[in-house]
A and B are shown apart, each in its own frame.
Chain A
Amino acid sequence: MSEPVSSPRQSLLSGAGLLLLLWGSSFALSVLWPTAVAEHCPLGKDVLRPDRSVCELAFGGTWISLSIGLLAGAAATLVGLLVASLARGLGRWIDAALMRSADALFALPDVLVLMVLQFAAQTAADLHPRLRIGPVPLMVASLAMVGWAAPARQFRDRLDTLERAEFVGAAHALGAGRWHLFGWHLWPFLRDYVLAVFLARVPAAILAESTVSFLGIGKVEPMSLGRYLGTSYASLLHGEGARVVLPAWLLLILIVIGATLAGRGA
């Protein structure tokens, strides 16, 4: 039997540390001291935007992608938790209806639903400029609307299992109400699970945002990693693909590794 390489706590700390380092350094170097990156970039200038360096664009997009992933992951987890609590609290029919809705959404790929939502929001904004919201809040809201189904199903199943435990039956027999049971007896067992689900949603949200931005549907501004890669498509024609694609790819992988490590430890 081999020893585990690291404890869950170490895994959580190293994953969270990596994410914090990426976000902090990207934000600091692209927003606070942008000239430092531009002047010392070993990868040179971007082919399509000669006034910007590859480092500025790739590294500058990291904190945007990461922020979108964290916000969207948190929103999707909260909505999922709310739906699961309502499903368990409001009786069998509501439970069945909510879970069928989650299944219907779950049956479609995130990217497809995201495209429809972005399309709907952009069309609405074209027709009524008052309805226009910023691209980043729109992307976060779209990702949350797409991402709640899986957490809702996971939390609902977890709550179902917990509610069958003897201590819950005992608390119920002693007169504990539904919301008291949730807050005092179920939540302490659910807390770590919620954190793990949230951390699992982060890379999924980042990758979905990257793909949608790459396809030219989400116009996140300032540029996220996905949008940067999408708009750099033509640089491949100049034979500069690897120089443009590889740094942004590496940053995406580091973000996913950070979130996965933290999720494993949660």
Chain B
Amino acid sequence: MKATLVRAARQLILIPLVALASYGLMVLLPLSAGEESKRQLSPDLLASYRRDLGIGEPFGFLRPWQKLWEGKRLGTSNQGVTGEELLLKLTSSVAVGLFALGFAVLWAFAFALIRLRLRRSRWAAIGDVVPALAFGTPVFIPALLLAPYVVEAGHLLPELAAAGLISIWPGIFLGSLLVDSFETELARDYVRTASSKGLSQSQVLCRHVLPNVLPTFLDSIGPVATALLAGSFAAERVLGLPYFGQLYVLAVLQKQIAVVVVATTLFAGVLVLVRLLIGLARGWVDPRAREPTLGEVA
């Protein structure tokens, strides 16, 4: 229990760290209205930066959050965003991400099973070509090719297309790890023993091999969740989805400093939440994960 709490605390501390780091980075920008004649930012915009970030105020770093709490608009004029809108966009992006995670798990098991089946055939090279294709393809390329057919279609098709596209790389990545884990486990003595006692291949796989493969699989979901959310930036932009990724890109392009600070922190919060949930699932699947590691004991 103590080990679980220590791990949770280590994850949760990342949220204020990211909040302070992103705020610090923005505040460090030379926002003073300098005397340079070539200065491109208007005094109004500079004043709004200062106001939004609470520069010079005590506990100024809480200013963007205070504005959100009071229901005020973050950012300048009509390009800003309220807390309610931000939450709605974040929820929509997370929903697309959850669909993508489901797709990724499906691709992973499908890829792993196909690769295991083909590993001794003359088609075994496919198992090497598919990851190279997946890793070498940024999300925006298939999104660009698909966009003309799905953007105007509606009926959640753009959302499903985005989820499908951003799940390809993570799915193949998880599948490659699954293949390695399956191959390691299938070579162990307990598999031979179970088979020699008369269990069918599917029974051996489901009852004995899968429980030993799942911990590795769950450990890989964390980085995959990061990749899924990162992929959503490009996919949402190309497929015209007005959600969190789109909001973030526009905030950066339009220099909405306070929106960038809040969105970065919320993003880190979502990722930490995902990691905590994975940690809990890991502890449930593998009792060894509940024990403290050597570092935690020390």
Q: Which residues of A contact B (CB under 8 A)?
A: 2, 100-101, 103-104, 107-112, 115-120, 123-124, 126-129, 131, 203, 207, 210-211, 214-217, 226, 229-230, 233, 236, 241-242, 245, 249, 252-257, 260
Contacts and interface: CB of A to CB of B under 8 A. Distances in A.
Nearest to B31: A127
10 contacts: A100-B10, A104-B268, A116-B260, A120-B29, A127-B30, A203-B135, A207-B138, A241-B148, A252-B137, A252-B138
Given A120-B25, A127-B34, A217-B249, A112 B267 contact: yes
A242 B36 CA distance: 46
Interface of B: 10, 13-14, 17-18, 21-22, 25-26, 28-31, 34, 36, 38-41, 119-120, 132-133, 135-141, 144-145, 147-148, 226-227, 229-230, 233-234, 237-238, 248-249, 252-253, 255, 260, 264, 267-268, 271-272, 275
B239 to A, nearest CB: 12
B136 A203 contact: yes
Nearest to B275: A107
Contacts of A126: 39-41
A226 B138 CA distance: 9
Given A211-B233, A215-B249, A119 B255 contact: yes
Nearest to B120: A2
B264 A233 contact: no
A211 B29 CA distance: 24
B271 A107 contact: yes
Contacts of A245: 141, 144-145
Given A252-B138, A256-B135, A116 B264 contact: yes
Nearest to B261: A116
Contact of B26 (A2, A120, A131): A120
Given A2-B119, A104-B14, A226-B138, 8 more contacts: A104-B17, A116-B260, A119-B252, A128-B34, A210-B140, A211-B139, A229-B140, A245-B145
B226 A108 contact: yes
A187 to B, nearest CB: 25
Contacts of A117: 25
Most B C-beta atoms less than 10 A away, residue of A100, A118, A120, A131: A120
Contacts of B275: 107
B61 to A, nearest CB: 16
B132 A256 contact: yes
B147 A236 contact: yes
B268 A236 contact: no
B235 to A, nearest CB: 11
Given A120-B25, A216-B253, A211 B140 contact: yes
A217 B253 contact: yes
A257 B255 contact: no
A55 to B, nearest CB: 18
Contact of B18 (A108, A211, A254, A256): A108
A249 B148 contact: no
A47 B29 CA distance: 39
A112 B144 contact: no
A116 B25 contact: yes
B136 A253 contact: yes
B234 A211 contact: yes
Contacts of B226: 107-109
Contacts of B132: 253, 256-257, 260
Contact of A109 (B29, B137, B227, B238): B227
Given A116-B264, A229-B144, A128 B137 contact: no
Most B C-beta atoms less than 10 A away, residue of A111, A126, A131: A111
B19 to A, nearest CB: 10
B267 A115 contact: no
Given A104-B21, A126-B40, A126-B41, A115 B248 contact: yes
A112 B140 contact: no
A255 B139 CA distance: 16
Contact of B248 (A100, A112, A216, A242): A112
Nearest to A2: B120
Nearest to A104: B17
A129 B38 contact: yes
Contacts of A109: 226-227, 229-230, 233, 267
Contact of A229 (B17, B22, B141): B141
Contacts of B21: 104
A62 to B, nearest CB: 13
Nearest to B148: A236
B237 A215 contact: yes
A141 B133 CA distance: 28
Contacts of B267: 108-109, 112
